[in-house]
Structure 1
Amino acid sequence: MHIVINIIVTLALLYWPVVMMMSPMMFAAPGADDNKGAIFTAFFFMSYPVTIFLLLGVLGGKYFGFNSFVLALISAIVVFFVLSFFGYTGMMSNVIRGIPNSGYGVVGNTVYYNADPVVGADAESFNAYKSEDYHNDYSVDQYAADNQYLYFRGKPLPGIRLENLIGKIVAYDFYWLNDTQVIRNGEVIAGLDPQTFGDFEGYSYWTYSKVGEKYTLYYDNTSVDLADFHSFTPLTDRLAKDKNRIFYDGQPITLQVDIDSFEAFSTYGFARDKGHLYYLGSDTPILINGADPDSFDELGWGYYRDKNAIYYVEEENVLVLNSVDYRSFEIVGYVEDHEYDAKDANDYYMRGQKVGEP
């Protein structure tokens, strides 16, 4: 019986390093690292070698002849140093003292961010902004203010005026705006006028602002200098056009297209004009020679077809499967013990390449 218990204890101890390596997952939930119950529960769970030896000692057992209470003391020392190495003892100490392990908090006359003191912050006037007050944008929690500064990630931002400061979601991103400044990610964005700064409803990245006497368009806060504001139309979060050009990631494309009929295609990652189909998955759009935009459709697993051919989309390119038997081609998907994802009457295919015959 003793040998069986020793084996069980040994297996449990061998699993402890795995528990420690996976322990950060215990604090993955928002607010978990400031939850006393969650921290004490995790601390107790990660200290289970101590519990095992204490229980074994209470029951009068020994571990391969060694005194269980002595082993409990030794394991307690080992566990303490390992938990300290992972930072868990510090987390527990902070929670006991009321200091937040993540985010802002005021304890007495000291302001903290991620458990570090924010030197010089005025505790009495300090206010930490909450994401739930700004459409749950996660970046809001990184900001706070007192009677002197706006803070970002615990650091003061000198030069930012607090008068008439408001938070606003523009193009699905969070900004602070006052009478003269636009702030994003803790930095003032040069050239933007907060009074005219705006976006195109339903699209990320594309914004605009009046500069001097005219409006300038921006992609991810970088000016799109060649764009005509009055005819500009976003097509996707990355694609747009005006009366003269097509823009992709804020840059004009070099392909010759029919601008009037150019549009984002219903199949994600493609665009088309009245006679051509374009792939948008590379650094710049690619013309798919010979593809028919009217009959083009997705098959799945990276395969597509139109009335003339079968296509496979790689990360940066579109392959035309010229040798495929069009009529018999079908998607198989994942089949256990089979190294192919599509087939026709003559061949098997894997990621657009022939891999054998039926």
Structure 2
Amino acid sequence: MYILATQTDFNELDQNSYYWTDGKTVFFRSNEIVGADIESFRFYTGPFAKDKARCYLGNDALEEADQESFEGINLSFARDRNFIWCASGKIDQADPKTFEVCDAGKFVLPVPSEMPGKLPIPELKFSYGYAKDKNRVYYFSVREGLSIIHNADPCSFISLNDGYFAYDKSHVFCQAREIEAADPNSWQRYGHGIFYSRGLEQVYYLHRKLQLADIETFEIVYPQNNAKRILRLAQDQYRHYWNGMEITTEEFEALNTSQQLK
């Protein structure tokens, strides 16, 4: 939990910045929170906060939240004694007694030092993550909101804590979707924060098979400008790939050597 009084500066370019005050008013980014009490205002990691009277999701008051027991768990989820909340609202199906988060609830995107106009921060953090209770597995993404993964087994479910991948005793998941035909006993990522993965006979990008990829020679390529995870380049002995799409040799070389990240 953080004290609002120490947050007096706001940089709109910093997407990690949420709550702050000008000494008179409480803000969630550029939005005024009408009626919020500065002295008692406290906030958690992500878009969750409370003061002596109310609980907040962003700049909206949560009318059903219990102020005394409300707390943010991670960047994606919060709870009180009665309900579970995600960064888009209350989760009606969740069981508060058995609910638990499976990871830090975030996807971290490094900001390369070589990037033109680099932000004054080393990384950006976005709300992505898994949680579960005795009945269900949940996935939250800042783009798609909350999903329930109906074929996931809560007892054996494990998140890889990268905002994207998880598995249970029978399935492998990328976000809220099952990776087709992936065996959790043989499947593996090519690296943390890299969206390519493999099974015994198949290469994947996110949840999707790369049907023509040669698994024996497939490798991740880090661009010469050291952008690393930004461009997500890969190749095998026959083909080149960018974000899971096959591209020409000329396109690959241009991306590999470009100093302008897009």
Q: TM-score range by the shorter chain?
A: 0.5 to 0.7
Number of positions where the alignment pairs a residue of Structure 1 with one of Structure 2 = 200
1:28 corresponding residue in structure 2: none
Contact 1:349–1:355, Cα closer than 8 Å, also in 2: yes
1:321 corresponding residue in structure 2: 210
TM-score (norm 1): 0.47
- State the shift of 1:264 in Å: 0.6
Amino acid at match of 1:209: D
Contact 1:182–1:192, Cα closer than 8 Å, also in 2: yes
Partner Cα distance (1:254, 1:331) in 2: 29
1:182 corresponding residue in structure 2: 55
Contact 1:207–1:221, Cα closer than 8 Å, also in 2: no
Q: Unaligned 5+ residue runs, structure 1?
A: 1-127, 145-149
Contact 2:137–2:154, Cα closer than 8 Å, also in 1: yes
2:76 corresponding residue in structure 1: 205
1:140 aligns with 2:12: no
Higher relative contact order (CA 8 A, sep 6+): 2
- State the shift of 1:354 in Å: 4.7
- Secondary structure in 2 aligned to 1:175? strand
Q: Residue 194 of structure 1 is aligned with which of 51, 63, 67?
A: 67
Q: Unaligned 5+ residue runs, structure 2?
A: 10-15, 106-128, 226-232, 250-262
More helix per residue? 1
Partner Cα distance (1:184, 1:304) in 2: 35
- State the shift of 1:225 in Å: 1.0
**Identical counterparts, % of pairs:** 22
- State the shift of 1:234 in Å: 0.8
Partner Cα distance (2:31, 2:148) in 1: 41
Within 5 Å, which residues of 2 pair with 1:159-308? 165-173=39-47, 175-178=49-52, 180-183=53-56, 187-200=60-73, 203-210=74-81, 215-220=82-87, 222-236=89-103, 237=105, 238-249=129-140, 251-265=146-160, 269-280=164-175, 285-299=176-190, 302-308=195-201
Partner Cα distance (1:329, 1:221) in 2: 38
Sort the Cα spacing of 1:356 and 1:130 in 2 relative to 1 into closer, same or farther, 3 A.
Answer: closer
Which is higher, the Rg of structure 1 or of structure 2?
1
Q: CA RMSD in A?
A: 3.7
Amino acid at match of 1:304: S
Sort the Cα spacing of 1:247 and 1:187 in 2 relative to 1 into closer, same or farther, 3 A.
Answer: closer
Deviations 1:94-131 (A, max 9, x none): xxxxxxxxxxxxxxxxxxxxxxxxxxxxxxxxxx9441
Deviations 1:148-172 (A, max 9, x none): xx565797945x678xx51212344
